[in-house]
Structure 1
């Protein structure tokens, strides 16, 4: 019962974190490992448990989702869903070492882009005398790559999405938060289908259910909170989350 309480609380924190600024996997995964799940199983279980929370947050945000530039929202969601499926397959058949080595660098890059990317892009455009950005096709390719990473591991994938959209089309982090949550739900959903079929996540049903219930509660509460935050404060929360996740991942890789 103590294990269920632990993962319930972790689920609330993870769901709320994903809704407000991202990084829910960094809360859910250690909690699942702490109650005895193997690392790969815990990774898959975290994804499965966070799906309902992401879906609940997306429902709260449903009227505030803005397109990512000229990129079709339907096409973006398809790229997220298909990438999530590919990433889930990779998790089931490949070791995690290669992705683990790249994650701190990806997060550091995303943090710098969120902090300085829009200003840098504007300055470069002014120097060139024309707007600088990514075509819808390039945005979709980038989204598919990030969704593949999201299906494989998922840690801070929403932060990486916001960084891509910031550089690609100049989308503000606060304005892009509803779309980030929606795309997270698409990534998690297809990955979850494969994990339920091909992994052993259902061997600990009480633990999984506890985190799932907590993630739904946290996802709804976090989304309502984020909607009430001023845009400047929400941008600060997203950036602070990105910095914290980068530092934690660098420390995690230290001997």
Structure 2
């Protein structure tokens, strides 16, 4: 998987947050294949080490940093690490997030709201503040945040998660408007059902699988790399006039 000389992200330095599995790991592979130098960040250090080794074994340049996005200090140190090691930060994909056990709102515990918001919203807030600081010093860049179809439409029994993903879109729009004149583009992707460890476990239940695919026009889940390809395009110069948008990668789910 050596980087493509003429790839979408050739020569760019990319930070991928939430890179230890799922869409984040898919993005690490896609961004590297598209020519980027990639720095992987997440809480699970051993996963990051293995993935960075895989990428380097395929000819890519890769590094990693263990980060909890709930900590502004840890995020700032990770961004500083990227700039110190590679000279700049061109691209950031903020993909760290947590789900929530589905339950009616009135039955959720007192800490359910904070548990989701701290990672899904505060994490994006922490990441963007440090990334934008670095990009302003480097002359610009591109940021993509991971929202969800849950940031565009609602469903039952998941209120804190849905609220958090709507908030990610709001932060994305606000930052896009604020920094458009300074060479920084900020967009979001809104994935639908996407294969991951958690989703595969859930889809093992035939009833859950039928419900999930019944609401998906393509009758399947996305592969992580399919979402990552959309993020790579938004981060690339080919999307130079695209900012403040949320790109649905949901197989038509929100078209219904």
Please indicate, yes or no, whether the TM-score normalized by the shorter chain is above 0.5: no
Structure with more contact order per residue of length (Cα contacts < 8 Å, sep ≥ 6): 1
TM-score for the superposition, normalised by structure 1: 0.29
TM-score for the superposition, normalised by structure 2: 0.29
